[in-house]
Chains A and B, each alone.
Chain A
């Protein structure tokens, strides 16, 4: 610790603290433009000059670290500091336009504030100001006004230091220095909106927000992002009931001060005219608006009929529900519908997933900060930049600033490799082999508990041969794991659950090392979906349906009985529905007809269902097939909690009013319960109280059985293994109306390595036809250097075409063939 005196006040701060931060701790604000707490010190704008005793000239407080006994005088007590700051301010203004009245930044502009407080009434500068063409779009989302720019380089430093997309740079020099993009390379970044937010003046403006509102005309509400599981803290700003801007909110524990472009610009769906705003009943094939009372009465009646006839009911609920709503759905299924047929997945569950999921909430939590202190982070079955962008930023920081080794294990090299993560690439579906090979190697050296390695697995060499991973890489991973021991962190993507044995192998390896483990899903409510029991075998708190003691605890809390038989998983519910075996299909915030990983199962299941109730925001492929469609409120219109991938709950309250008659999902369920005269929570507080009593971490981690998988082999006719997952900006329903954002999205593409592309005889950019037993799609080819041989990647739900038509979720693997698109025509 170091003792310093600032403006005659003493303070003790840690060594290495910058003077400007020490001053902040005393409540002394030294004006600054280039300084930013999350960017490296620069000292370029010179606005923060202070007087330091013993120095012959004023120093920038943003670059000077404290030393023992230092005596600092800021503008409040030093004429030299005040004079220097005034001088810099005068120089900053000579070329700055006086357009505050029409500038987006007006009202929240540090330059404006500074001039108001300390600036002169007029300027001594009489010459013509620097003029530029303006605004210049640097991307579809960001507009640049170079005349307003103070050249603080926050934007360019963000791009190079934080996001690693250095496509926005300073060009020219002297008074002509300016921010620009390269002529031949667009500014492409999933994080571009941050440069707008950290711009200290109105130079970088938001393409959508430009000229929409003044900061002082808006009402701000703290919120939490619901577009992935990163858990970004946001501020939603509305004017006259319209969301006009979304900002990242400071949260050092989670998103620091950043958010991704999807989270910032992807909220247009909330206020689209397409929103479902009143309850509707299907009559003679079309929807007719009805009152809530009528809709609820109809549903209640149907529930009674189904139960009386002994028909089965089933619930599918999206993993985008807030915690309270997820809990309410779980409870509704069990206590109102009397069924465990409830799932948040549209695919098959597996024994290994069933074994791992209930343990997740009892594992020692992994937090963002944990990653910076880890000795090794293993990322498996997860593409963080596409699936959890803020996690990507934190991993980048861990790697670059704290030199944490990162190893990714996936078929496709991701953006992690750009900052030095080692990539272990394996054929899609063989992740388990890599993990078991590393574990076996580690076991041989006594580096891991033997229980992590099951006797019936083949030898290391056999495993390596099957997955095609580079042996050196796998051995290097084993070495790193041995060195890191319990300081290793495993980040397992939800996709790992669909690769046979991989989740179990990963879990066991972590358990064997005593290392931390986190499951990272794409959707914001995925963690809560598991621990609230949106799962056919799990009750709230990770309790097992078929464990009498655990079930009884839940029954006691709910004061009613819960079926003891595990229910159907998502895939089985759809199968059942498609056979007409489900009397009541209840959909909450889910779109099986669009999202089910099957050619047409989702649509078929819905078309053959007797009676479908759906809660939704919009008319989707599924909700338009409902018999009763109920308007739900969007996240910015409701109160609730999201638990991010770290298992960190964050609550939020409504930022704008709900349209029409829309209600929160839990409230809709509560209305139905009331109609039926069954006990059910009547308020958000009731639900939160129940959650608190039922969901408490307990127990310890135990290894699970790694299934002895025999991975199917490709055939001559279908020689390629298909890997597919959605990119950050996919063609999802919630991207409705986010037009500028979607201009930055990729169209669909098919990725092969160069060798395979050559073998098929297609050049990048040419169209290929990908076909499986279930269907076919066409899309242009891209070449990714080190995709494993015989593997093909297609983003799941990209504009242009949908991969779902190639899939059947009963298959462990999907095999496809890839041909030139014009092969047939060439004849």
Chain B
């Protein structure tokens, strides 16, 4: 069993880690106090130097993002994207449930760095417990003088507002999130302009993921070099990996970026369930192309996974064992995207609807010989053609499963049904 490298998960399991007392007992809010002694630019420089990259999926350098905020246009806003909805991803939920003050501390530091007086947490509505934990922690933080007027005794004031989503995956897309936060229909916005200049209420806005913000206090407290002791040159630090599917011990594990996939699955999660062989896995959630056993030695960092033909995404590894039906799995993924497509653009709205029906048909014995070409064609008409990245993500399981497991499709079509046991 491989040892974890707990940074953001450091307090998991500690007594009352979710309360202000428990948090401060273990060094909580020291990063914030240190940050308030620094200038906003010093903080941004430090986060840049640490090389922290966004943990929400795209991996954009966090410090660089903060640096885009124009200093002359006020108000500016910080928005925490806590609308964790990607199938296979459940790291932010645990962060919010177990260590909400860590997130609040990260939000306060980030808000101070971009001179925002108002921050929002857009929390997935279904996360009832996480939402309550945050609500309670925010109230504690106000009571303890961490939020509100004169943050931690400084001249800086900050209000944090918790907003619960109403159940749309697309609202995890940052511009759709901003629309929804403004009370509008949750659909992505045209870019440019980007949120850095025209975000919430058309004002400069930073949107950061929960894990990203939860990492920030540690960097401020311990320095950039400390952070860079882990990970690779381009993907420094540690990362939470969500392992699910056919493994012995599904769950969240924290390790250095760049550690081999095999080690995450075998060392952290106890290997494939029942000692079976691994057939396929997603490295970063359902929107990242599937990889196979041939890719188990790839490092879990942005560059290595990209080199293997997929994306690190949220670091959510969904494991499919040798007896899993790839057509059925792909259909399940597609059913999700069909349901969650916001409907704004034609390719995604109509394409996901169509793909889902075709996959359903193949799995249930009505596949036709031309269907594999159809699946590829329709996917290619969505990929790179849709309004936002949703479409690209939606067709990833289709294109990658057709690429690696074409024979399973052929078998379904030839045998007029699923060859696997249900």
Q: Do A and B bind each other?
A: yes
- Seen from chain A, the residues whose Cβ lies within 8 Å of a Cβ on chain B are 41-47, 49, 56-58, 63, 84, 87-88, 90-92, 94-95, 124-125, 127, 150-151, 153, 169-170, 172-177
Q: Decide yes or no whether B354 CB sits under 8 A from chain A.
A: yes
Question: What is the minimal beta-carbon distance from A663 to any residue of chain B, in angstroms?
Answer: 54
Q: Decide yes or no whether B197 CB sits under 8 A from chain A.
A: no
When the two chains form the complex, which single residue of A44, A92, A170 contacts B387, counting CB atoms closer than 8 Å? Answer: A44
In Å, the complex CA distance between A57 and B374 comes to 21
Number of B residues with CB within 8 Å of any CB on chain A: 32
Task: Point out the residues of chain A lying under 8 angstroms from B387, CB to CB.
Answer: 43-44, 46
Are A91 and B343 in contact, CB atoms less than 8 angstroms apart?
no
Are B190 and A41 in contact, CB atoms less than 8 angstroms apart?
yes
- If A42-B190, A92-B350, A124-B374 touch, whether A58 touches B341 (CB-CB below 8 Å) is no
Are A177 and B349 in contact, CB atoms less than 8 angstroms apart?
yes
Are B349 and A58 in contact, CB atoms less than 8 angstroms apart?
no
Task: Point out the residues of chain B lying under 8 angstroms from A95, CB to CB.
Answer: 350, 353
Question: What is the minimal beta-carbon distance from B380 to any residue of chain A, in angstroms?
Answer: 7
Task: Point out the residues of chain B lying under 8 angstroms from A87, CB to CB.
Answer: 347, 377, 380-381, 385
A-B pairs with lowest CB-CB distance, top 10 = A177-B343, A87-B381, A57-B384, A175-B353, A91-B350, A174-B341, A173-B343, A127-B357, A44-B344, A174-B343
Q: Decide yes or no whether B342 CB sits under 8 A from chain A.
A: yes
When the two chains form the complex, which single residue of A56, A94, A177 contacts B354, counting CB atoms closer than 8 Å? Answer: A94
Q: Decide yes or no whether B338 CB sits under 8 A from chain A.
A: yes
In Å, the complex CA distance between A176 and B377 comes to 23
In Å, the complex CA distance between A42 and B377 comes to 25
7 interchain pairs (CB within 8 A)?
A44-B345, A45-B346, A57-B384, A88-B346, A90-B381, A173-B168, A174-B340
When C-beta atoms are compared, the residue in chain A nearest to B351 turns out to be A91
Task: Point out the residues of chain B lying under 8 angstroms from A88, CB to CB.
Answer: 346-347, 381, 385
Are A46 and B347 in contact, CB atoms less than 8 angstroms apart?
yes
- If A47-B346, A92-B346, A94-B350 touch, whether A174 touches B339 (CB-CB below 8 Å) is yes
Are B349 and A151 in contact, CB atoms less than 8 angstroms apart?
yes
When C-beta atoms are compared, the residue in chain A nearest to B352 turns out to be A174
When C-beta atoms are compared, the residue in chain A nearest to B374 turns out to be A124
Task: Point out the residues of chain A lying under 8 angstroms from B170, CB to CB.
Answer: 173
Q: Decide yes or no whether B74 CB sits under 8 A from chain A.
A: no
Residue from the set A56, A91, A92, A172 with the largest chain B CB neighbour count within 10 Å: A91
In Å, the complex CA distance between A44 and B187 comes to 11
When C-beta atoms are compared, the residue in chain B nearest to A33 turns out to be B346
Question: What is the minimal beta-carbon distance from B382 to any residue of chain A, in angstroms?
Answer: 8
Q: Decide yes or no whether B185 CB sits under 8 A from chain A.
A: yes
Task: Point out the residues of chain A lying under 8 angstroms from B378, CB to CB.
Answer: 91
In Å, the complex CA distance between A209 and B265 comes to 66
Q: Decide yes or no whether B386 CB sits under 8 A from chain A.
A: yes
- With A44-B387, A49-B385, A174-B339 given, name 10 new contacts (CB 8 A): A41-B190, A43-B387, A87-B385, A90-B381, A91-B354, A124-B370, A124-B374, A151-B349, A170-B343, A175-B349
- If A41-B190, A43-B190, A91-B351 touch, whether A173 touches B342 (CB-CB below 8 Å) is yes
Are B341 and A173 in contact, CB atoms less than 8 angstroms apart?
yes
Scan residues 364-422 of chain B and give those whose CB is less than 8 A from a CB of chain A: 370, 374, 377-378, 380-381, 384-387
When the two chains form the complex, which single residue of B343, B346, B352, B381 contacts A172, counting CB atoms closer than 8 Å? Answer: B343
When the two chains form the complex, which single residue of A42, A57, A90, A174 contacts B349, counting CB atoms closer than 8 Å? Answer: A174
- If A43-B190, A63-B190, A88-B381 touch, whether A174 touches B346 (CB-CB below 8 Å) is no
Question: What is the minimal beta-carbon distance from A20 to any residue of chain B, in angstroms?
Answer: 14
In Å, the complex CA distance between A90 and B378 comes to 9
Task: Point out the residues of chain B lying under 8 angstroms from A49, CB to CB.
Answer: 385
When the two chains form the complex, which single residue of B340, B344, B381 contacts A91, counting CB atoms closer than 8 Å? Answer: B381
Are A176 and B343 in contact, CB atoms less than 8 angstroms apart?
yes
When C-beta atoms are compared, the residue in chain A nearest to B185 turns out to be A170
In Å, the complex CA distance between A43 and B189 comes to 10
Are B353 and A174 in contact, CB atoms less than 8 angstroms apart?
yes
Question: What is the minimal beta-carbon distance from A721 to any residue of chain B, in angstroms?
Answer: 40
Are A175 and B347 in contact, CB atoms less than 8 angstroms apart?
no
In Å, the complex CA distance between A490 and B357 comes to 61
In Å, the complex CA distance between A84 and B351 comes to 13
- If A174-B352, A175-B341 touch, whether A46 touches B190 (CB-CB below 8 Å) is no
Task: Point out the residues of chain A lying under 8 angstroms from B347, CB to CB.
Answer: 46, 87-88, 91
Task: Point out the residues of chain A lying under 8 angstroms from B342, CB to CB.
Answer: 173-174, 177
Residue from the set B341, B350, B374, B386 with the largest chain A CB neighbour count within 10 Å: B350
Scan residues 322-362 of chain B and give those whose CB is less than 8 A from a CB of chain A: 338-347, 349-354, 357, 361
Scan residues 159-211 of chain B and give those whose CB is less than 8 A from a CB of chain A: 168, 170, 185, 190
In Å, the complex CA distance between A43 and B191 comes to 10
In Å, the complex CA distance between A87 and B385 comes to 9
- If A88-B346, A175-B349 touch, whether A46 touches B357 (CB-CB below 8 Å) is no
Task: Point out the residues of chain A lying under 8 angstroms from B340, CB to CB.
Answer: 173-174
When C-beta atoms are compared, the residue in chain A nearest to B348 turns out to be A174
Task: Point out the residues of chain A lying under 8 angstroms from B351, CB to CB.
Answer: 91
Task: Point out the residues of chain B lying under 8 angstroms from A169, CB to CB.
Answer: 185
Are A58 and B381 in contact, CB atoms less than 8 angstroms apart?
no
Are B353 and A58 in contact, CB atoms less than 8 angstroms apart?
no
Question: What is the minimal beta-carbon distance from A294 to any residue of chain B, in angstroms?
Answer: 67
In Å, the complex CA distance between A543 and B90 comes to 83
Question: What is the minimal beta-carbon distance from B311 to any residue of chain A, in angstroms?
Answer: 15
- If A87-B347, A173-B343 touch, whether A127 touches B354 (CB-CB below 8 Å) is yes
In Å, the complex CA distance between A44 and B352 comes to 15
Task: Point out the residues of chain B lying under 8 angstroms from A90, CB to CB.
Answer: 381
Task: Point out the residues of chain A lying under 8 angstroms from B168, CB to CB.
Answer: 173
Task: Point out the residues of chain B lying under 8 angstroms from A177, CB to CB.
Answer: 342-344, 349
In Å, the complex CA distance between A92 and B381 comes to 12
- If A91-B346, A174-B341, A174-B352 touch, whether A46 touches B374 (CB-CB below 8 Å) is no
In Å, the complex CA distance between A684 and B200 comes to 60
Question: What is the minimal beta-carbon distance from A180 to any residue of chain B, in angstroms?
Answer: 12
- If A41-B190, A44-B345, A58-B385 touch, whether A175 touches B338 (CB-CB below 8 Å) is yes
- If A91-B350, A124-B374, A151-B349 touch, whether A46 touches B385 (CB-CB below 8 Å) is yes
When C-beta atoms are compared, the residue in chain A nearest to B386 turns out to be A46
In Å, the complex CA distance between A325 and B314 comes to 75
In Å, the complex CA distance between A107 and B384 comes to 33
Task: Point out the residues of chain B lying under 8 angstroms from A57, CB to CB.
Answer: 384-385
In Å, the complex CA distance between A629 and B338 comes to 68
In Å, the complex CA distance between A124 and B381 comes to 14
Question: What is the minimal beta-carbon distance from A94 to any residue of chain B, in angstroms?
Answer: 6
In Å, the complex CA distance between A330 and B310 comes to 82
When C-beta atoms are compared, the residue in chain B nearest to A41 turns out to be B190
When the two chains form the complex, which single residue of B343, B345, B377 contacts A175, counting CB atoms closer than 8 Å? Answer: B343
In Å, the complex CA distance between A622 and B378 comes to 69
In Å, the complex CA distance between A90 and B338 comes to 18
Task: Point out the residues of chain A lying under 8 angstroms from B350, CB to CB.
Answer: 91-92, 94-95, 175
When C-beta atoms are compared, the residue in chain B nearest to A55 turns out to be B384
When C-beta atoms are compared, the residue in chain A nearest to B343 turns out to be A177
When C-beta atoms are compared, the residue in chain A nearest to B370 turns out to be A124
Task: Point out the residues of chain A lying under 8 angstroms from B338, CB to CB.
Answer: 174-175
Task: Point out the residues of chain B lying under 8 angstroms from A150, CB to CB.
Answer: 346
Question: What is the minimal beta-carbon distance from B190 to any residue of chain A, in angstroms?
Answer: 6
In Å, the complex CA distance between A150 and B347 comes to 12
Task: Point out the residues of chain B lying under 8 angstroms from A174, CB to CB.
Answer: 338-343, 349, 352-353
Question: What is the minimal beta-carbon distance from B75 to any residue of chain A, in angstroms?
Answer: 20
Task: Point out the residues of chain A lying under 8 angstroms from B354, CB to CB.
Answer: 91, 94, 125, 127
In Å, the complex CA distance between A124 and B361 comes to 14
Question: What is the minimal beta-carbon distance from A810 to any residue of chain B, in angstroms?
Answer: 54
Task: Point out the residues of chain A lying under 8 angstroms from B185, CB to CB.
Answer: 169-170
Residue from the set B190, B341, B342, B346 with the largest chain A CB neighbour count within 10 Å: B346
